[in-house]
Structure 1
Amino acid sequence: MTLIEKDGATAEEFSKRFSDILVIHGSITDEAIWDDENLVDSDLLISLTENDELNIITASYAKKLGVSRSIALIKTNPNYLSLARQFDIDVPISTTEATVDTIVKHLRSGTIKSLHTLFDGKLEVYEYVINENFEYLGKALKDVNLRGKAIIASVKKSNGEAFVPSGNYVFEKNDTVLLCSNHDYSEFIQGLFA
């Protein structure tokens, strides 16, 4: 693992704390570092500066040079997420979206295990744990009227078995259900799993 840090004191601190990591004091924009450290042969580049634009450019540049995968932190402008995807960046990470997802998770039903938003918040992917209060506990998926507002994409049993459910799947306590829905139907979904 190689860490490139432009601040000398920070680079020195990282070098002391993480002796198994190669820490380089310099700028990722310096092409000599790319050549000297042979960064193009890296499996992954993660750009985590405070500058969204630099992170996008660096991650995109790494991919163009041949780095297998790239990740860019989008910290200040969530509008850059779609732009980052256009630049062949494998994983643009938005602190804003992560924060919103966490807040929404706590505001919604207590049975929600996780919530992720995709496509600039238009699609929501819920991970629910079925509890004893679930209206359809013991009933088959085909008997649940989702009204075309959601798709149950996957189920994970408490023993770890995961599968794509058929209409004959029967909801059991402690099953984890992965459900996809348009953001506009979030109240419907919340009511279904409340």
Structure 2
Amino acid sequence: MSSYKLRYFDGRGRAEMIRLCLAATGANYEDIRMNFEQWTKFKPSTIAGHMPILEVDGKQLAEADAIAKFVGREHGLAGEGNWEMAQIDMIFGICTDLRKELFETHFEKDEKVKAEKIEKLKKEVLPKFLDIFEKILESNGKGDRFLVGSSVTVADIVVFDVLDLAASKGLVDFKEHPKMDCFKKKVAELPRIAEYLKLRPNSNM
């Protein structure tokens, strides 16, 4: 069995969906949370010069989406056939767009601009993405519990992660999207995910 080491800062960021994917598989891994000084020393030895990084039996894999999909393929959470895998790729791309909006707002330094961005997230951005995710959920011909196919995939986990992050900031209201609220709760209640959520460190972002 492969040995995994996941390296990132002490926060959710781009690594949290990977931690959730690893948790969902039950895989053993070392969750290495680095401070800035440690990262500065480690950075020259990395492939791409940024984290997260997954070390698999001593070999490095960079880019969060690639890592999450690799974990999914290794542990049966990557969908069945080219169509389901393409759907998963699509969902990852949509989540990247939403995560970018969330991160840009979080790290905005101008307080007035930040307040405007928060309002836009609440009233326009999040409702738009919830509509998209709900359409994908409803279009799954194998049931409306999961986004792709008839069992959990990394697509469900990455959508859960980005919605969970938005919800933790008070940015999302599920009142108009009860199916997505139900979806989020179902993923959170998956036994291994529930155990991880119960034990994970508190983090601002």
Fold agreement, TM-score > 0.5: no
Identify the structure with bigger relative contact order (alpha carbons < 8 Å, sequence gap 6+): 2
Task: Indicate the TM-score class for this superposition, using the shorter chain for normalisation.
Answer: under 0.3
Normalising to structure 1: TM-score of the pair? 0.24
Larger radius of gyration: 1
Normalising to structure 2: TM-score of the pair? 0.24
